[in-house]
Amino acid sequence: MFRSVLPRAVPRQLRPVTQSTFCAPNIYFQGRLRRGYASEAEEKDLVIIGGGVAGYVAAIKAGQAGLKVACIEKRGSLGGTCLNVGCIPSKSLLNNSHLYHQILHDTKNRGIEVGEVKLNLEAMMKAKETSVSGLTKGIEFLFKKNNVEYIKGTGAFQDEHTIAVNLVDGGETSVKGKNIFIATGSEATPFPGLTIDEKKVITSTGAIALQEVPKKLVVIGGGIIGLEMASVWSRLGSEVTVVEYLGQIGGPGMDAEIAKQTQKLLGKQGMKFKLNTKVVSGDDSSETIKISTEAAKGGKEDVLDADVVLVAIGRRPYTAGLGLENIGLETDERGRLIIDQEYRTKIPHIRSIGDVTFGPMLAHKAEEEAVAAVEYLTKGYGHVNYGAIPSVMYTHPEVAWVGQNEQELKAAGVKYKVGTFPFSANSRAKTNLDTEGMVKFISDANTDRILGIHIVGPNAGEMIAEGTLALEYGASSEDVARTSHAHPTLSEAFKEAAMSTYDKAIHY
Amino acid sequence: MNATRVLLQQRQPMIRFLGKRAIPSQVDHTPHVHPASPSQSLPDSFASYRKKAQQHGPLNQSSQYSTIGGRPGSQLGPVEAGKGLHFDRSELPQRFQRLAWTQAEIEAVESGGASTYA
């Protein structure tokens, strides 16, 4: 009878009343005051979906600011792609494979006689896992220290303030937030026609977990990820061929002169490159994989044979299963969440940071955004300078750059000066017997303000920090040149490149 | 004379200490294009959502997002719908929506309250 009196057009889900925070004044009202406006469950100040670099940094920063924070992560360990299957494990493999390669090929001329050198890939992988687990557990500790609630599960929007969480350990829960950050990151873009099984056809995730050294490895995509992984397996004994659609390696951000020199240096290490080449199709039906290529502008065809194919053509934002359709949030043509200058989506209390939105897909960019987004929330003001975000490729020698490159400045019609300094003229590089590469400064022709710094050489990744600081402060090349740099260090090459930009280098 | 000339010739570094960082007194919180946006445009949905949405007061007020709790609720302005607009209860946050009846409540009504004492 009751139902017929009060028909409902849309049957609603029953709202679970888990726990009432309302204390009834006497026994008569106990349990009878559910129908009031008193809130039933605790609402968080901030709920973050994704415990990667963007998510966990935002969670810690918000915890430090005294907000009530929950961070939802489905992987089972914090740190996202970077810590679990990206930057960190790859750096472990790059460092250890470099050591192995150096012991094999570069000890005699240093006066070190070594006996038989053998690779124990299993132990190398274990060393990688030890670094990863140490770091991910470190974040869990930081969560506890900063009162961040860590929810292990998959979050999906139920409405604009509620996230339904499918828990990793089974069961479901939901969490409400006054503010919500989407920091779900990115995933490797698959190559049409090749099925990724992470054994024979792999992404970067599979490339850091191969059980044995492949005899022949073909890398589709000569960007940073592709070249780093190519370096690892080339050093461990694979015959590596890199196929790149563009006319240069390193992606469009790398300065053309630096890219050319890097390609030469990597080629000397045994890597083969096929630039301006398009992969047409792949056939993984037989034991080896056949990759058909042709010249990017059409024409010359070729077939490459490989035991393992690494697909490294880029990454795409990851929003699958997030329930964006439930709240009407839109993405752009590449799947990136559309945000304004304060990281807000069209729904102002829902912000988006990291790989899932605009800008380069870099962990340190995500970190900057996380801090800025929380500051917008707590202080109403944040800061990220997208013009001064460094990029580093951890091959040997390393490649690093910040700011604009020559081709970009030429296209923009900016008048500029260039100054370079080779590591072969640097004393420390000479003593280290590691003299390949150079530092290149680009500064404004009129004001001498630094516009870009590009390095290929030993320790470039660490050295670029000084360049980024100079760029952030709006320094001139003369400012850097007149700053004392310790002798003998590699950083003197940095100073001398600045000297050669506004005047002349001393040692070259 | 010469000392002055030397001083005048001294190089002025481009890096200058600007003093302690402070939050600007006026920050424009209206949505603008994100600096890294490739299209350099915001879709219309940003404006249209703000026109109709109510979050702790109307959203189309520019100075609203200073800090959390930065201003008392009474200063946020009326929460009523604009002229010619109306809000449906179902558009409000869930805590303002009608509660679904629980099975126990339905039984209580149907049994005239007897089930609550059973």
In this structure, are residues A280 and A187 in contact, taking their beta carbons and an 8 Å threshold?
Answer: no
B111 touches chain A (CB under 8 A): no
Classify strands A172-182 and A44-49 as parallel, antiparallel or unpaired: parallel
The answer to whether the annotation marks A290 as part of a ligand binding site is: no
Asked if A39 and B95 come within 8 Å (Cβ–Cβ), the reply is: yes
How many angstroms away from the CA of A153 is the closest CA of chain B? 23
Output the six-digit token pair for A200.
């024979």
Residue A431 buriedness (CB in 10 A; 0-12 / 13-18 / 19+): exposed
Contact B34 A341 (CB under 8 A): yes
How far apart CA A490 and CA A464 sit, in angstroms, is 12
Q: How far is B1 from chain A (nearest CA, A)?
A: 26
Do residues A502 and A444 make contact, with C-beta atoms less than 8 angstroms apart? no
- Residues in Cβ contact with A201 at an 8 Å cutoff, skipping those fewer than 6 apart: A194, A195, A282, A284, A289, A308, A309, A311
Contacts of A328 (CB under 8 A, 6+ apart): B45
In this structure, which topology does domain A397-500 adopt according to CATH? Answer: Enolase-like; domain 1 (3.30.390)
Instruction: Considering the domain delimited by A44-188+317-379, tell me its CATH architecture.
Output: 3-Layer(bba) Sandwich (3.50)
Question: Chain B within 8 Å of A476 (Cβ-Cβ)?
Answer: yes
The one-character DSSP state at B41 is -
Say yes or no: B27 contacts chain A, CB-CB below 8 A: yes
Q: Binding residue per annotation — A1? A: no
pLDDT of residue B7: 56
DSSP B25: S
Is position A382 annotated in a ligand binding site? Answer: no
Three-class secondary structure of residue A37 per DSSP = coil
Burial profile B7-36: b = 16 or more Cβ within 10 angstroms, e = fewer: eeeeeeebbeeeeeeeeeeebebbbebbeb
Q: Specify the 3-state DSSP secondary structure of A218.
A: strand
A40 contacts on B by Cβ (under 8 Å): 95
Which A-chain residues 366-405 have CB contacts (< 8 A) with chain B? Answer: 377-381, 386
B45 close contact with A: CB closer than 8 A: yes
Residue B117 burial by Cβ neighbours in a 10 Å radius (0-12, 13-18, 19+): exposed
CA distance A328 to chain B (A): 10
Q: Which residues of A touch B67 (CB under 8 A)?
A: 378-380
Tell me the three state secondary structure of residue A286.
coil
Nearest to B36 among A344, A358, A447 (CB): A358
CB A214 within 8 A of CB A305: no
Query: Is A155 annotated to bind ligand?
Result: yes
Give the number of C-alpha atoms closer than 13 A to the C-alpha of residue A201, restricted to the C-beta side: 22
How many C-alpha atoms does A65 have within 13 Å on its Cβ side? 23
CB A174 within 8 A of CB A95: no
Look at the alpha carbons of A357, A361, A363, A369 in this order and tell me if their dihedral is positive or negative: negative
Write the DSSP assignment of B81-106 as a string of letters.
Answer: PPTT----GGGS-GGGSPPPPPHHHH
Q: Please, is A427 exposed, middle or buried when counting C-beta atoms within 10 Å of its C-beta (0-12, 13-18, 19+)?
A: middle
Is A221 marked within a binding site?
yes
Nearest CA in chain B to A384: B35
* CA–CA distances in Å: residue A487 to residues A383, A401, A431, A433, A468: 35, 23, 12, 17, 22
Q: Distance from A329 to chain B by nearest Cα, in Å?
A: 9
Q: Quick check: A398 and A478 in contact, CB under 8 A?
A: no
List the beta strands (DSSP E) in A307-360. Answer: 308-311, 315-317, 350-352
Angle, vertex CA A370, rays to CA A393 and CA A451, nearest 5: 50
By Cβ distance, the residue of A348, A357, A378 closest to B68 is: A378
Nearest by CB to B95, which of A37, A348, A360? A37
Which chain A residue lies closest to B31 (C-alpha atoms)?
A: A340
A66 to chain B, any CB pair closer than 8 A? The answer is: no
A186 is in an annotated binding site: yes
Q: Which residues of B touch A349 (CB under 8 A)?
A: 55
Question: For chain A, what are the domain ranges?
Answer: 44-188+317-379, 201-313, 397-500
Nearest-CB residue to B109 (from A2, A330, A379): A2
Question: What CA–CA distance (Å, rounded) separates A362 from A393?
Answer: 12
Contact criterion met (CB < 8 Å) for A386 and B36:
yes
CATH number given to A201-313: 3.50.50.60
Quote the distance between the C-alpha of residue A177 and its chain's center: 27
Give the burial string for A241-276 (b: 16+ CB within 10 Å, else e): bbbbbbebbbbebbbbbbbbbbbebbeeeebebbbe
B27-76 confidence digits (pLDDT tens) = 888 899 999 999 999 999 998 888 777 665 555 555 545 555 666 777 77
CB A206 within 8 A of CB A298: no
CB A208 within 8 A of CB A93: yes
151-180 in A: which are within 8 Å (CB) of B? 159-162
- Within 8 A of B23 by CB-CB distance, chain A residues are 379-381
The reply to whether B26 touches chain A by the CB within 8 Å rule is no
SS3 category, A48: strand
Question: Do the annotations mark residue A396 as ligand-binding?
Answer: no
How far apart are the CA of B72 and the nearest CA of chain A, in angstroms?
16
| CA of B89 vs chain A CAs: smallest distance (Å) | 14
For chain B, the straight-line distance linking the first and the last C-alpha, in angstroms and rounded, comes to 106
Tell me if A340 and B96 make a contact (CB, 8 A cut-off): no
Is the Cβ of B50 closer than 8 Å to some Cβ of chain A? yes
B94-118 pLDDT per residue, tens = 778 888 888 989 999 999 988 888 7
| Topology agreement, domain A44-188+317-379 and domain A201-313 | yes
Strand order in the sheet with A239-243: A201-202, A308-311, A216-220, A239-243, A272-274
Range list of H helices, B1-118:
2-9, 45-52, 103-110
Say how many CB pairs under 8 Å bridge A and B. Answer: 106
- Alpha carbon distances (Å) from A233 to A230, A236, A271, A393: 6, 5, 10, 16
Residue A91, SS3 per DSSP: helix
Task: Please tell me the pTM assigned to this model.
Answer: 0.84
Cβ separation B33–A341 shorter than 8 A: yes
CB contact B91 to A (< 8 Å): no
Sequential pLDDT tens for chain A (508 residues): 344 444 444 444 444 444 444 444 444 444 445 554 444 457 899 999 999 999 999 999 999 999 999 999 999 999 999 999 999 999 999 999 999 999 999 999 999 999 999 999 999 999 999 999 999 999 999 999 999 999 999 999 999 999 999 999 999 999 999 999 999 999 999 999 899 999 999 999 999 999 999 999 999 999 999 999 999 999 999 999 999 999 999 988 999 999 999 999 999 999 999 999 999 999 988 889 999 999 988 888 999 999 999 999 999 999 999 999 999 998 999 999 999 999 999 999 999 999 999 999 999 999 999 999 999 999 989 999 999 999 999 999 999 999 999 999 999 999 999 999 999 999 999 999 999 999 999 999 999 999 999 999 999 999 999 999 999 999 999 999 999 999 999 999 999 999 999 999 999 8
How many alpha carbons fall within 13 Å on the CB side of residue A373? 35
**Contacts of residue B34 in chain A, CB cutoff 8 Å?**
339-341, 343, 357-358
What are the catalytic residues of A? Answer: 487
For position B91, what pLDDT does the model report? 75
This model of the complex carries an ipTM of: 0.83
